[in-house]
Chains A and B, each alone.
Chain A
Amino acid sequence: MLPARFEYQIVSSVEEAVAAKTQGGDEARFLAGGQSLLPMMKLRFATPTHLVDINRISGLDTIERHNGHVEVGALVRHADVAASDQVSGVVASAAPWIADPLVRNLGTMCGSVAHCDPEGDWNTVLLATGAEVIAQGPAGRRMIAIDDFVVDFFTNSLADDEMVVALRIPAAAGASGGSYQKLERKVGDYATVGVAAHLELGADGRISAAGVAMTSVAPINCKARDAEALLVGNAPSAELFAEAGAAAAAASEPRDDVRGTARWKRQVVAAFTRRALTEAAEQAQS
């Protein structure tokens, strides 16, 4: 399992990284944790001619909470997220389910988001919370809503000369909760089915905002908008969550494959949506 020939460049600032990427273009790749990129290179599914190693850029490895959101830098590892007291709800719930301990120690949250693997967990979580991606190019920074960032499988909306420098995850002001439910065949496996749920409750105890998103049951990570619409304005209840589960299952587009039949995956989406919402509501109410 030997990769094809490539140039390797270490950069020490975001500006330098962007310049290197601008020069390398489509054939250049940023290297952060490398937990998806390097295996793909060894399998020769990816043959970048230029690797831009961003690991020595200082200031990108922090998780900071300010102005109603949590900002996760480009060099924050999954394990840092799992250990952080700055994150809560569905983000905190999903972090221990990312890959396996070895991958979590090196892989980065931003890298996983930018990779846009439809079987990856983080984009589902970000869709449920309504997060944004902060990208930097030669002309400076811009914010991209996660819905607009995830374009297709393994395809994001970054320009060739842009780099993800951080994620902005909204931190709810009031009562909120979230949960990520994942069915995996073994530790380190991609999700067979994943469901992220995020709930905010108003002063009246009714649901004021809801995010439900799914992993591995559609060509890309996607929101269950019908389920979200059902939830908002209603009081949490087992019946409501069962209805939302059915709506999410209906919105999913799973396929038969070695992991299981499509109709079973729909059933799991329904069950997981119910369970995730129940947990989210319990958190929000506590």
Chain B
Amino acid sequence: MTDTTTTSPEIGGIGHSVKRAEDARLIEGQGNFVDDIAMPGMLYMALVRSPVAHARINSINTEAAAAVDGVVAVVTGELMDAHGLAWMPTLSGDTQAVLATDKVRYQGQEVAAVVATDPYIATDAAELVDVDYEMLDAITTPQQSLADGAELIRNEKEGQTDNLAYTWETGDAAATEAAFANADRVVSLTTHYPRSHPSPLETCGIVADVNSVTGQATLYMTSQAPHAHRTLFALVAGLPEQNIRIVSPDIGGGFGNKVPIYPGYVVATAASLLIGQPVKWVETRTGNLISTGFGRDYYMTGELALSNDGRIQAMRVDMLSDQGAFYADAQPTRYKAGLFHVCTGSYDFGNAHIKCRGAFTNKAPGGVAYRCSFRITEASFLIERLMQTAADELGIDPAELRMRNFIQPEQFPYETPTGFVYDSGDYPTALRKALDAAGYDELRAEQAASREQGKLMGIGIAHFTEAVGAGPAHTYDIAGLKMIDSAELRVHPTGKAVLKIGVKTQGQGHETTFAQIVAEETGIPASDIKVIHGDTDDTPYGLGTYASRSTPVGGAATAMVARKIADKARHIAAHLLEAAPEDIERDADKFFVAGSPDQSVSIQDAAFAAYTNLPEGMEYGLEDVTYYNPPNLTFPYGSYVVVVDVDPDTGVWKVRRMVALDDCGVRINPMIVEGQIHGGLTEGFAMSSMQWITFDDDGNCIGSNFMDYLIPTAWETPRFELLETVTPSPHHPIGAKGIGESATVGSPAAFVNAVVDAVAHLGVRNIDMPVLPDRVWEAIETANT
């Protein structure tokens, strides 16, 4: 690891692996999660969920439930409708049922809620709510959904005559067709990126406390985006925004799951408003897995047009997404399939055309970016699997094929055929370094020898480029809210500081890394800086933490506000040193007159003077706020190499090596960056090896608990060997790029490519995820016959 620090360990600026400030309280059980919150008179809410995937609701009888001792209210869609809240807008411009009134459209959909004095009573009474369902055919795939004669799922939606949720395309269709027509070779791959779930350890929940006199609504919520949620609550429920305070306390993991507004939040808030007492709702594990925002579920056909020597000329993609019952992707407004159009990846070619369609099905809605930055996971998987396919089809080594097609370092900033402008990168150096660390040439030699003995081993490569840090206001908004972010810095007289940010940690370590940015820019030790986030009454506005945007946007805002503070401190230092401000230099935590470093003013001295001894005309205090509108996204990338051994008898595969090189620009806290990569690689391994949500033909969710929906443990997770290169982002104030999602985005293709590579000589070109042993064995069997 290269030492890039400019501050001492005591100051703990950029480049120091400062221990996480948040860990002590979390490890010692002193965290404060939504379910820890208790209030006088607090009631508990349990949801009644649909047991079936598609049915008309004939009637809902709440009598027996309401009669249970301790039940305060039973809320149905009818009651919500009376307050105009039976439906709510989604983050993709669709509408979603809060409590079903006409039909249920997926198993697990919210139908009613019971509010009681005790969670056990609420749960017992919820079982007594009697719903008369008239069964309808369940549609469980987008292909069924778009077939002629399919039952109309969204019959309530005006003008909706089929099950099509959206269409979207980008790129130059004509030029792409021409390139394909003239190409030496065309390779194609059809694959399904299966439905998965973010499944954070903490499920979703809320304590809604609406004051019946003042109308003040204080909502303690599992929210990755508290400010955006406040504004959306104001717009949807018509509550005056100054009376809404959203507090997102400690969050037990988000991964995108806590970006949307869920019916449970809305019903609990309405219940508190109607009853006049605080209402707590904490989702069950099953409720979380079957009803909240899923990830992926993309059916993709990708094609590459190539010359005989393996130069890519164009790319063509046809994609069909399964959106579930409501089109509720959390994504920038102008894009219908997130940033899927980044699927041209790390390669330099002229033309691409991408066609996307989405269909409604009787499955849970959501389409959240599960640690993937708006569908970049699917995009990256497609291009990197296509590169493996092309290598196998053309008989070119997959590393060599990538080297021949990489965007070269001198081409940056590089505009892709779909309109992204990549900021910086050196792809050949990254891949070479990863290959050398893995011992690539020796592995290929071993593979050739082991095939002679009937053994199966494979080497998989993925070189991904991500587009993260949404984003510039001219292009990016969610539900009309521009994707800017903010930071407010207050330095107290004793030189200790409080940093308030618009983004919100769910475990990423903001309380540590954001303090380090301030430490770097001001010289105030990171341990003297308290980071406040998550409370909308106490922090400046921002769009929240998802899509790897905290460091690119909130981190930039933090650096910029710290620079304002440092500049004011420099003026104060000039006053104290009786010199002109332009003659003052700063060295870590000290200001001095150029050429005379012996006489200096510390940042702490300047802070005290800011409240006690100011130059003529200067305003008191040392605090400021910055709103940051990023000029571009940041484009982190990485080269991953996976080695697997496959048991030909059973199809079971084991990871022997996993070498992961990441370039996320400047690393603020290398330890935290590596932690993010470890977590992302584990989730990538999970999706490629074992993780998927399936449904039976009736639309019953298979995967409604952790026995059926698999999370790998330390036992099956491979050991990771991490490497880095550092190519700073030229437009980010500290040269940093996002890192939270890189490994989830990049690694699945590397794992799958490795298994496919192990059996490619038998003629196998594709095994869909999850790469279960039976799929491997079946692929070998099919290839053998």
Contact = CB atoms under 8 A, between A and B. Distances in A.
User: Do the two shown chains form a genuine complex with each other?
Assistant: yes
A260 B774 contact: yes
A284 B692 CA distance: 42
A43 interface: yes
A66 interface: no
Given A189-B710, A259-B774, A1 B286 contact: yes
Interface string A161-203: 0000000000000000000000101111110000000000000
Interface in B224-252: none
B123 interface: yes
Interface in B392-449: none
A186 B713 contact: yes
Contacts of A44: 127
B759 to A, nearest CB: 15
B352 to A, nearest CB: 35
B771 to A, nearest CB: 12
Contacts of A271: 649-650
A261 B774 contact: yes
Contacts of A258: 692, 694, 702, 708
B720 interface: no
A264 interface: yes
A185 B710 CA distance: 8
Interface string B114-138: 0000011001100100000000000
Contacts, number: 60
Contacts of B707: 39, 189-190
Interface in A254-273: 258-261, 264-265, 267-268, 271
B570 to A, nearest CB: 56
B211 interface: no
Given A258-B702, A260-B772, A267 B777 contact: yes
B119 A268 contact: no
A2 B713 contact: no
A271 B120 CA distance: 49
A264 B651 contact: yes
A151 interface: no
Contacts of A2: 119-120, 123
B652 interface: yes
SS class, residues of chain B in contact with chain A: loop
Contacts of A189: 707, 710
SS class, residues of chain A in contact with chain B: loop
Nearest to A187: B715
B42 interface: no
Interface residues of A, number: 24
A186 B652 CA distance: 12
A39 B123 CA distance: 16
B284 interface: yes
A4 interface: yes
A100 B707 CA distance: 12
Residue in A100, A188, A261, A264 whose Cβ sees the most chain B Cβ within 10 Å: A264
Contacts of A187: 713, 715-716
Contact of B710 (A39, A186, A261): A186
A261 B778 contact: yes
B705 interface: yes
B702 A186 contact: no
B124 A5 contact: yes
Contacts of A183: 650, 652, 773
Residue in B127, B652, B772, B774 whose Cβ sees the most chain A Cβ within 10 Å: B774
A18 B649 CA distance: 48
Contacts of B778: 261, 264
Contact of B286 (A4, A43, A185): A43
Contacts of B773: 183, 260, 264, 268
B124 A100 contact: no
A186 B694 CA distance: 18
B712 interface: yes
A186 B650 contact: no
B120 A259 contact: no
Nearest to A257: B702
B690 interface: yes
Interface string A38-74: 0100011000000000000000000000000000000
Given A264-B774, A264-B777, A271-B649, A186 B690 contact: yes
14 contacts: A1-B284, A2-B119, A2-B120, A5-B120, A183-B652, A186-B690, A186-B712, A188-B713, A258-B708, A259-B774, A260-B772, A261-B774, A261-B778, A264-B774
Given A43-B705, A183-B773, A259-B772, 16 more contacts: A2-B119, A2-B120, A4-B124, A43-B286, A100-B713, A185-B772, A186-B710, A186-B713, A186-B715, A186-B716, A258-B692, A258-B694, A260-B772, A264-B774, A268-B650, A271-B649
Interface of B: 119-120, 123-124, 127, 284-286, 649-652, 690, 692, 694, 702, 705, 707-708, 710-713, 715-716, 772-775, 777-778
